[in-house]
Amino acid sequence: DTAVSQTPKYLVTQMGNDKSIKCEQNLGHDTMYWYKQDSKKFLKIMFSYNNKELIINETVPNRFSPKSPDKAHLNLHINSLELGDSAVYFCASSPTLSGGAYEQYFGPGTRLTVT
């Protein structure tokens, strides 16, 4: 069974389009995250939700809007896509957001290419 799954795995789209990435975890975790990994493999947190509540919101353009319909799902919607949004986006989950004291479980990633 896949612990953290993301769809789609690959996403190729044109500038200006709106797209969504979905994430689901079946681990029963309270906390979910979105990360962006750039071409140099640098991984940066974007958002974190704890029990459907937004906890961490890094300095991400407001074109990015996360949504957590329940604690097992965290989706990422991106409006007006730009070339610089091209990256691999990872969803992750952890039991709680308790000072980062727990390991995080990562999904397989969604490679977004904006042309």
Pairwise CA distance, residues 28 & 16, whole Å? 36
How many chain residues are in contact with another protein, going by CB under 8 A?
25
Task: Say whether residue 109 binds another protein (CB under 8 A).
Answer: yes
Task: Say whether residue 69 binds another protein (CB under 8 A).
Answer: no
Question: What are residue 85's phi and psi, to 5 degrees?
Answer: -80, -10
Listed ranges 21-29, 64-72, 75-83, 94-102: which one lies at the site for another protein (CB under 8 A): 94-102
Please state the closest distance from residue 46 (CB atom) to another protein, in A: 11
* Residues at the site binding another protein, with contacts judged by CB under 8 A: 4, 40-45, 48, 50, 55-56, 90, 92, 97-101, 103-109
